[in-house]
């Protein structure tokens, strides 16, 4: 790969070979602290004008602001993912609980790892001071933490399915045109050359993920600790493919790497637990 520098940017020129053996040229322009300008413009979308305008007074901060904007877009997407999946690292099951003498909503909630608010929602209870009677049936959700190995699988699957394949980079790859060399470069890595939507390229990151996922979740296969660990190893290796090929080994950090995504998942889980405890205090 050829590298050209000036005082404000670096441009990498190289070529890649697709699965049909055809070579393609691509150019990646890195601005300031190693942000791809072309990708930055796509990732920050409408906020780009505001960023440039806000940074005119101090031009030396323009590149840093661009990098922060790209990171903010990634974090915004990740926060939405975790907001929609607050129980990603928990096992949730719904059942019927028959109230016993002396039980309260807060006691039932605590025994099931849930909140009074959630049990009220499940049973259309409007007031937490409402009297419940022994023998009464209540719908409850039992929430238990996943085992360490199952939690790791959930985070890895979410990283690919929820984040990578729905990222702005993936969207760019999906909408690539013959004259958009940079988008074609990312398309070749993420999706390769699929025969159809139902037949992904098994040499692409998407194809390897789908193949691994379907093999592991085959209903005819027993999921043992060994098979789970092998699945984790496969997906972990695939996260390194993302970092090496999409982030160019750290030179072009347009996607959050898995290690950081994992930290966000765990922190969000901790935050959700604290909210549950707060709700117990409020309603207890």
User: Are 178 and 258 contained in the same domain?
Assistant: yes
Tens of pLDDT, residue by residue over 49-78, are 222 223 333 444 444 555 566 667 788 888
Non-local (6+) Cβ contacts of 32 within 8 A are: 8, 9, 62, 63, 64, 66, 67
Q: Tokens 């699945």 sit at which residue?
A: 231
Tokens of 161: 């399915």
Sign of the torsion formed by the C-alpha atoms of 126, 129, 133 and 136:
positive
pLDDT for residue 283 is more than 50: no
> What is the per-residue pLDDT for 58?
44
Domain of 128 in residue numbering reads as 90-145
User: Are 118 and 217 contained in the same domain?
Assistant: no
- Rounded-to-integer distance, Cα 248 and Cα 203, Å: 18
Non-local (6+) Cβ contacts of 81 within 8 A are: 158, 162, 163
User: Are 157 and 239 contained in the same domain?
Assistant: yes
User: Are 167 and 47 contained in the same domain?
Assistant: yes
CATH, residue 94: 3.10.350.10
| Backbone phi, psi, residue 188, to 5° | -65, -30
| Assigned domain for 284 exists | no
> What is the per-residue pLDDT for 51?
25
- Reduced to 3 states, what is the DSSP secondary structure of residue 145? strand
Tens of pLDDT, residue by residue over 185-224, are 999 999 999 888 778 999 999 999 999 999 999 988 889 9
pLDDT for residue 279 is more than 80: no
User: Are 81 and 135 contained in the same domain?
Assistant: no
Closest CA to 238 of 264, 219, 223, 216: 216
**What percentage of residues in the chain have a pLDDT greater than 90?**
37
User: Are 123 and 101 contained in the same domain?
Assistant: yes
User: Are 141 and 12 contained in the same domain?
Assistant: no
Report, as an integer, the average pLDDT of 253-282: 72
| Assigned domain for 275 exists | no
Q: What separation in angstroms does the CA of 123 have from each of 119, 221, 283?
A: 6, 38, 16
| Assigned domain for 132 exists | yes
| Number of separate domains in the chain | 2
> What is the per-residue pLDDT for 118?
86
Among 99, 115, 145, the domain-final residue is 145
User: Are 113 and 242 contained in the same domain?
Assistant: no
Closest CA to 234 of 208, 199, 203, 196: 208
| Assigned domain for 282 exists | no
| Assigned domain for 278 exists | no
Q: How confident is the model at residue 147 (pLDDT cuts 50, 70, 90)?
A: very high
| Assigned domain for 276 exists | no
Report, as an integer, the average pLDDT of 93-107: 90
User: Are 107 and 168 contained in the same domain?
Assistant: no
User: Are 77 and 16 contained in the same domain?
Assistant: yes
| Assigned domain for 277 exists | no
pTM, rounded to two decimals: 0.66
User: Are 139 and 70 contained in the same domain?
Assistant: no
User: Are 37 and 166 contained in the same domain?
Assistant: yes
């Amino acid at each position: 790969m050829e590298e050209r520098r000036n005082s404000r940017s670096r441009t990498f020129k190289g070529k890649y070979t697709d699965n049909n053996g055809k070579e393609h040229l691509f150019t990646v322009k890195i601005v300031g602290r190693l942000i791809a300008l072309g990708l930055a413009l796509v990732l920050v979308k409408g906020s780009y004008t505001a960023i440039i305008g806000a940074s005119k007074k101090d031009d030396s901060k323009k590149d840093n602001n661009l990098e922060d904007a790209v990171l903010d877009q990634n974090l915004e997407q990740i926060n939405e993912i975790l907001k929609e999946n607050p129980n990603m690292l928990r096992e949730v099951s719904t059942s019927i609980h028959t109230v016993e003498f002396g039980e309260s909503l807060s006691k039932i909630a605590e025994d099931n790892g849930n909140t009074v608010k959630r049990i009220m929602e499940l049973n259309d209870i409007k007031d937490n001071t409402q009297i419940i009677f022994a023998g009464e049936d209540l719908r409850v959700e039992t929430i238990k933490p996943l085992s360490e190995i199952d939690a790791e699988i959930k985070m890895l699957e979410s990283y690919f399915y929820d984040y990578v394949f729905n990222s702005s980079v993936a969207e760019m790859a999906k909408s690539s045109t013959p004259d958009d060399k940079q988008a074609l470069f990312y398309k070749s890595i993420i999706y390769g050359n699929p025969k159809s939507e139902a037949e992904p390229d098994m040499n692409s990151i998407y194809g390897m993920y789908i193949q691994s996922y379907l093999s592991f979740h085959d209903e005819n296969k027993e999921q043992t600790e060994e098979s789970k660990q092998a699945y984790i190893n496969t997906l972990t290796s695939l996260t390194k493919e993302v970092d090496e090929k999409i982030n160019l080994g750290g030179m072009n950090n347009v996607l959050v790497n898995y290690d950081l995504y994992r930290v966000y998942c765990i922190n969000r889980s901790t935050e959700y637990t604290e909210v549950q405890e707060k709700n117990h205090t409020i309603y207890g």
